[in-house]
Structure 1
Amino acid sequence: MRYLLWLIKFLLFVVLFGFAMHNAEPIALKFFLGYTWEAPLALVLLVFFVLGALLGLTAALGQVVRQRRELVALRKELRGRNVPQQPAAPDPLLEQPRDAL
């Protein structure tokens, strides 16, 4: 399985490398106020992909922090109860079958 994963990673690298080599011509991005940036298309795509991934992670970070705080508060509340729990009655459907004899 490990060799299969390495083979998939290698093939993905070869495909992406070939894509980058075929799109090595410089392009010009035109910004406001007359600013331009000339770079290979593959580099521009990579930069914007990384920026998009970082933006997505940043957007999800607030939800993750909020859920962690809620989890900590719930754990504190659960520890503060100190109510002994009674064992639940065994489920008759989960019991082992008894012999007829």
Structure 2
Amino acid sequence: MRRLFAFIGGLLIILFGLAFSVLNANPVGVDLFIAQYEVALSVALVGALILGAALGVLASLGAVWRRRREVARLQRQLGYAERQLQALRRTPLGDSD
């Protein structure tokens, strides 16, 4: 059942993409500072979407790496604390006389 929904969803996305491409086939000029191109509006929009997503991923990489380092540091601290706890559990209780 899940595969059927995934297939239907994928088919709908493809059909939406094709309709978008056909409805936005008008050529537009794209100036890239060093060159000018004429491409279909749909290609320009999809290219801008992909470029924006890539820049967003690059912008968030620093935060992701900081979080990974913090998680690794906290896991090391947890391991150290667990080793200390196990050592304390093994230590016999002494007389307080």
Q: Same fold (TM over 0.5)?
A: yes
The interval holding the TM-score normalised by the smaller chain is: 0.7 to 0.9
Q: Give matches, 1:18-33, under 5 Å.
A: 18-30=19-31
TM-score, normalised by the number of residues in structure 2? 0.74
**Root-mean-square deviation (Å):** 2.1
Instruction: Tell me the distance in 2 between the aligned counterparts of 1:7 and 1:75.
Output: 42
Is residue 42 of structure 2 the alignment partner of residue 39 of structure 1? no
Q: More helix per residue: 1 or 2?
A: 2
Gaps of 5+ in 2: 89-97
Q: Which residue does 2:78 correspond to in 1?
A: 78
Identity, % of aligned pairs? 31
Tell which deviates more after alignment, 49-58 or 77-86: 77-86
TM-score, normalised by the number of residues in structure 1? 0.72
Distance verdict in 2 for CA 1:76–1:31, change over 3 Å = closer
Q: Give matches, 1:58-69, under 5 Å.
A: 58-69=58-69
Gaps of 5+ in 1: 87-101
1:14-68 deviations in whole A, cap 9, x for unaligned?
12101101211211134658x5321111110111000010011111111110001
Distance verdict in 2 for CA 1:65–1:31, change over 3 Å = closer
- Secondary structure of the 1:39 match is strand
Instruction: Tell me the distance in 1 between the aligned counterparts of 2:76 and 2:33.
Output: 52
